[in-house]
Structure 1
Amino acid sequence: MLATLEKIIRKKLNEVQGYYGHLPVFAQNLAVTARGYILSKMRYNTIFWKTLDRLRKHDNFTYEQMIYYQNQRLRETIAFAYQKTPYYHRVMAEAGLSPEDIQCIDDLKKMPILTRDDIRRYFRDLLVKDRAENQRIIVYTSGTSGSGIPIAYDAETLAKQWAFLARQGLWAGVDPRDWRVTMFGSKIVPETQNKPPFWRYNLFEKEILLSIFHLSEYNKKAYLHFLHKHEGKILDGFASVLGIIADMILQENDCIPMKIVRSTGEPLSQSYRRKIERAFNCQVYDNYGMTEWVGLIQECERGGMHLISDFGVLEILDENNNPVPPGVEGYFVWTGLIRKEMPLIRYKIGDKGMWKKNQFCPCGRPYPLVDPTITRDSDILKTPDGKLFSPRVINQFLKDKVSFKTCQFIQEDSRRVIVRIVPGKGTYELDARRLVKDLISVIGTSMLFSIEYAKEPIKRDSGKIPLIINKSN
């Protein structure tokens, strides 16, 4: 029932957004809280608490016990995918494989690599075939390439995924139901609103959502005043958004103490970490994850970035899909261990990283140390009226644009932006017009957007593909 409601809400979100924008603020808070009620029931249910209890026990495993658990879950995942999805039944049969051929992590090399293009092309065949459609929630992710792909999950997977995030909170000494301020992509404040409050309340989840679409020098005072009122709470957000807020605080020679800061959604550079910790006078906990929910890397209280082995299997491979040794950068290839609605096996997401040479962490937990390297190195988009849009904000507009191979934004000067698209198959011209319309609805008409099609994305000298290139800096 709850999954059906969530599916309906997501499907009607754009349509409902217009009505929501005309409500008074107190009614918007009620609407956000009502949505929070549905999400809280899906997230903090019996499955969540049982999973969290089990995960806490995993923290005390030996490394050998964790490998044994991984292999057991891997065998179950392979058998499930073979039996329940047309895609894996077909590709395994074509490769002459049966589930019995995959007994451990080392056997995964027998399976073919799954790419983003494969997901786009075979999405329906990757779905579990005997699941009721109303229990299937479909979302979109643009990843690091600036092009969207569809991903499906169910209520059970959502609760389990939420338990993994809660376990990291326990490492940091915070309760799963503590009050938190979040800075993510929800459009909870109408785009046309130009004065506070730029926040809305989700009372059921003890969450205050702070708009990331209204950050500007003009609104800086309101944002900092709000954060001072909520000192000591948990602060969650995208790394680049947290960096913008930290800059605002430090420019005022200010400090706003928070309990902890959790960064996710994009790489956290050392320079961002330092200024965020200075601005909020607390430890920053980094997270590497993705909408596909196949892999997770989390920072512990001692600063180690750990592969969360009970969430997914990670291979780090070179250009020829061979394993790389510790200390050598390679491509992340993930096999999810908690997904039921849409299993993803040997999924090459496009990100890179390396195994740490020194695998010792003082925390003592049985999760290997990994160094995710930065895959997207982007600037900030700045409007003539002083608004600041981080890469993760702009990224929100790309998630449902599935016909792009890549998309980048070139800010030529204070008013002109080129939307540079490497087209894929399908209605890319229609998606490009929709994208510009979406951008104007949030950024306004102070900027002129033009569309340009290209054969390849622009790369930095390092080989990284920036989402935003700001030539006006």
Structure 2
Amino acid sequence: MNQLLNPLLVGKIIKTYMVDLNRVKRLPEEKIRRYQERALLKVIRYAYKVPLYNKKYQQVGIHPDDIKTIEDVKKIPFVTKKDFRESKPEDLIPVGEKPGMYSMVSTSGSTGQPVTLYIDLHSMFYTLVGFVRIIREHGIRWNKTRMAVVADLSPDSSEARHLSIDAVPRLKRILPLKNFGVFHVGEKPERLIKQIEEFNPEFIGAYPGILRILAILKRKGLGRRLEPRILATSGAILDDYTREYIEKSFNAKVFDVYGATECSPLAFQCRNGNYHIMSDFAYVEFVDAEEKEEVSGDGGNIVVTRLFGRGTPVVRYTGISDFVLPSSRRCNCGVNTPLIEKIEGRRVDSIVLPSGQLVPP
């Protein structure tokens, strides 16, 4: 049965689209902060029902009632990739629930050790709304613009769950989404660029390494008719050289989206090129190398709390392992959230096998 026929789920999705989509432009930063605090306290209460978190909180004598403001979050212990990896499935979801109630997703495992989490269908749609928010800032309309997304469609990957198994396929049963094409990152580059060229998109989204390889092929004469208006990167660090090479090859602007499988979109570049934190999707902190003290001006390792979804909560998670420099500047683009000055770390790039197959970061 298509769960989109469930009126409760449909109602939540409609509310998400109507209310949450434009929150960061509709509300001033102070009200966004208050929303963030309420969502954070709600997530912490939910996490207390999950054995992994319940055990950690009890070890340090913390109860959700002790967390009354954002500042109190510092009392909560961190959660690591190791914590997730070493937990049994039933320890990652609320007591009394079964893993089969959720979709299982895994990180790409660029370190060789993927992390497996459980998410609900509404969380997937919420993430898609975040994607719609981001592309709208660049003049892309989800129901009009012809879009091509190159993603890891391996079984159990988060991208496959969102784009080719659960969320998008369900939407296609009730919405005309012929303008949206999904392509597998594992295709040989020559075949991939041909497939995308035949789709003829105005927008292409992919890992930076994938777009660079497509740019190389275009300079060699492949994909002559491939002329996107705008491109987006995510999933790895976009360095200045790669950005410039891609932009010159396609004669199109590139914007970057920062996020992770465990917590979905965290920040994105606006039309002015500034990275805006998705403050209503996540609460981010920056800590020193020992993960003991919060830092600000000089940057630090990012710690993330996801502010939506059921299944496996992500609270004070250190596993992204990126060094991030926050900014005190303000942007006049209309998005009322704090900025990130620079993102470092996670410089793992796509690997090209002798066969030409691409292994995503």
Shorter-chain TM-score category? 0.7 to 0.9
Helix, strand or coil at the partner of 1:122: coil
How much is the aligned-residue C-alpha RMSD, in angstroms? 2.9
What corresponds to 2:70 in structure 1?
Answer: 105
Equivalent position amino acid for 1:373 in 2: E
Q: Deviations over 1:342-397 (max 9, x none)?
A: 112111014223333442222132211112213224474341x5x1525x1xx5xx
1:264–1:357 CA distance, 2 compared to 1 (3 A): closer
Tell me the number of residue pairs that the alignment of Structure 1 and Structure 2 aligns.
335
1:45–1:162 CA distance, 2 compared to 1 (3 A): farther
1:51–1:112 CA distance, 2 compared to 1 (3 A): same
Counterpart check, 1:209 vs 2:209:
no
The answer (yes or no) to whether the contact 1:62–1:366 under 8 Å persists in 2 is yes
Equivalent position amino acid for 1:167 in 2: R
Paired with 2:198 and 2:140, the residues of 1 have a C-alpha distance of 20
- Give the TM-score taking structure 1 as reference length: 0.64
Counterpart check, 1:165 vs 2:131:
yes
Paired with 1:109 and 1:245, the residues of 2 have a C-alpha distance of 44
What corresponds to 1:96 in structure 2?
Answer: 61
Instruction: From 252, 271, 274, give the equivalent of 1:301.
Output: 271
Paired with 1:382 and 1:132, the residues of 2 have a C-alpha distance of 39
Q: Deviations over 1:113-152 (max 9, x none)?
A: 1111111122432212233543211121144422112110
Instruction: From 127, 146, 152, give the equivalent of 1:185.
Output: 152
The answer (yes or no) to whether the contact 1:249–1:255 under 8 Å persists in 2 is no
1:76–1:85 CA distance, 2 compared to 1 (3 A): same
1:347–1:143 CA distance, 2 compared to 1 (3 A): farther
Instruction: From 191, 197, 215, give the equivalent of 1:246.
Output: 215
Equivalent position amino acid for 1:212 in 2: V
What corresponds to 1:323 in structure 2?
Answer: 294
Paired with 1:211 and 1:143, the residues of 2 have a C-alpha distance of 17
Give the alignment of 1:79-94 within 5 angstroms: 79-82=45-48, 84-94=49-59
Pick the structure with greater CA Rg.
1
The answer (yes or no) to whether the contact 2:286–2:301 under 8 Å persists in 1 is yes
Helix, strand or coil at the partner of 2:321: strand
Counterpart check, 1:138 vs 2:104:
yes
Counterpart check, 1:68 vs 2:34:
yes
Equivalent position amino acid for 1:71 in 2: E
1:212–1:161 CA distance, 2 compared to 1 (3 A): closer
Q: CA deviation at 1:231?
A: 3.8
Which stretch has the larger CA shift, 106-115 or 284-293?
Answer: 284-293
Counterpart check, 1:262 vs 2:222:
no
1:181–1:46 CA distance, 2 compared to 1 (3 A): farther
Give the alignment of 1:113-152 within 5 angstroms: 113-123=78-88, 124-152=90-118
Q: Deviations over 1:226-284 (max 9, x none)?
A: 54444452212122111100111123396732132121222222112112222232222
Equivalent position amino acid for 2:295 in 1: V
1:349–1:269 CA distance, 2 compared to 1 (3 A): same
1:340–1:187 CA distance, 2 compared to 1 (3 A): closer
Helix, strand or coil at the partner of 2:54: helix
What corresponds to 2:165 in structure 1?
Answer: none
Helix, strand or coil at the partner of 2:255: strand
Helix, strand or coil at the partner of 1:235: strand
Q: Deviations over 1:319-354 (max 9, x none)?
A: 23211222x242111111002111121110142233
Instruction: From 256, 259, 273, give the equivalent of 1:286.
Output: 256
Counterpart check, 1:314 vs 2:314:
no
Q: CA deviation at 1:96?
A: 1.7
- Give the TM-score taking structure 2 as reference length: 0.83
1:2–1:128 CA distance, 2 compared to 1 (3 A): farther
Gaps (5+ residues) in structure 2?
A: 156-168
Q: CA deviation at 1:310?
A: 0.4
Helix, strand or coil at the partner of 1:354: strand
Equivalent position amino acid for 1:381 in 2: V
The answer (yes or no) to whether the contact 2:263–2:305 under 8 Å persists in 1 is no
Equivalent position amino acid for 2:217 in 1: M
Instruction: From 5, 12, 24, give the equivalent of 1:47.
Output: 12
Equivalent position amino acid for 1:183 in 2: V
Which stretch has the larger CA shift, 294-303 or 234-243?
Answer: 294-303
Q: Compare relative contact order (CA 8 Å, sep 6+) and give the higher one, 1 or 2.
A: 2
Equivalent position amino acid for 1:215 in 2: K
Q: Deviations over 1:169-193 (max 9, x none)?
A: 21112222343222112269xxxxx
